[in-house]
Amino acid sequence: MTAQQTTYREAIRQALLDAMAEDDDVILIGEEVGVYGGAYGVTKGLIDIYGADRVIDSPISEAGIVGAAVGAAMTGLKPVVELMYVDFIGLVMDQLANQAAKSRYMFGGQIEVPMVLRTQGGTGRSAAAQHSQSLEAWMMHTPGLRLCMPATVNDGYHLLRDALRQRDPVCFIEHKGLYTMKGNLDTARADADWGQPAIRRTGGDITIVTYSRMVHEALKAADAMAEQGVEATVIDLRCLNPLDMAPILASVRDTGRAMVVTEAALTGSVASEIAARIGESCFDWLEEPVLRIGGEDIPIPVSPKLEAGSIPDAGLIAETGLWMMRRDTLAWA
């Protein structure tokens, strides 16, 4: 396939199509992944192509689904589990964190667990407190789990294909607000290598580190800041485990200022971890403390206006970046 315009949803579906065509060991399992086509339509039509033996509609038991996938992966298959919402991750943490993440290490590498858990996170659909969370920090905290969160159409395809090549289990979190976003898909070329951040924009004044949907808010903010004479580098983490900090640290040492942006609640967040690493490694280069911008520490409201107000947007990011640049000129700073 040559480069073409498609949606985030279709890019992920194409990755599943291609992986299943190349490898008969790749199977799909989850609630309504077959006949219905998945909660957000990603697996639509796949059961018609590959049959019910490889696209398996499961009972409503998240722990049972992931437990079955762990066993299948241990015995030679490559299951792709769909967990309807990341909010349900608590129902599978024993199977995921105690079994899938640790088995290769506990058995000295003799047994691998090459499975992918696809799920959807984030706000934007007024789905309220139990269907709108950003819980990636739970998975990032668990040794043995790989974690990626694609922000672009091209990464939706390539990160999923790469995830299916890993020896360890991979949590693959798709932002529900990105499914209809259009972009270029080039199946021959990834945005960056597995585990490598992608530099989406370069500038010499401030470094903005982010991932998933907040990449797009950060890019809008960077354009607004440029109108005020402030040039920002925007770094898309892409993978949170593995994570190569080298490009991030190099940029911060160049700009002297860093902001880490997440949609997740700020306390104990991915942003907190990244900010700490930057502070430890770049202290002597920093002109300002590393700032974190994240979601409010509240359950997500169902009201569209309150929901939007609970997470960062381009305006807040731009305003904060401009403040960081000008703080030393303010009398009250």
Q: Are the beta carbons of 152 and 111 closer than 8 angstroms? A: no
Catalytic residue of the set 10, 31, 82, 131: 131
Catalytic residue of the set 62, 136, 174, 307: 62
290 phi and psi, to 5 degrees?
-65, 130
Q: Are the beta carbons of 54 and 25 closer than 8 angstroms? A: no
Q: State yes or no: is 141 an active-site residue.
A: no
- CB neighbours of 131 closer than 8 A, spacing ≥ 6? 85, 87, 125
What's the CA gap between 291 and 208, in Å, rounded? Answer: 10
- For the chain, helix, strand, coil in percent to 5 are 40, 20, 40
Q: Is 37 left (phi over 0), alpha (psi -120 to 50) or beta?
A: left
Closest CA to 67 of 88, 47, 46, 91: 91
- CB neighbours of 156 closer than 8 A, spacing ≥ 6? 8, 11, 12, 15, 150, 174, 178
Q: Are the beta carbons of 31 and 65 closer than 8 angstroms? A: yes
Q: State yes or no: is 131 an active-site residue.
A: yes
Q: Is 144 left (phi over 0), alpha (psi -120 to 50) or beta?
A: left
What's the CA gap between 96 and 65, in Å, rounded? Answer: 11
Q: Are the beta carbons of 30 and 58 closer than 8 angstroms? A: yes
Q: Are the beta carbons of 242 and 146 closer than 8 angstroms? A: yes
What's the length of the chain? Answer: 333
What's the CA gap between 257 and 169, in Å, rounded? Answer: 35
Positions marked catalytic: 62, 131
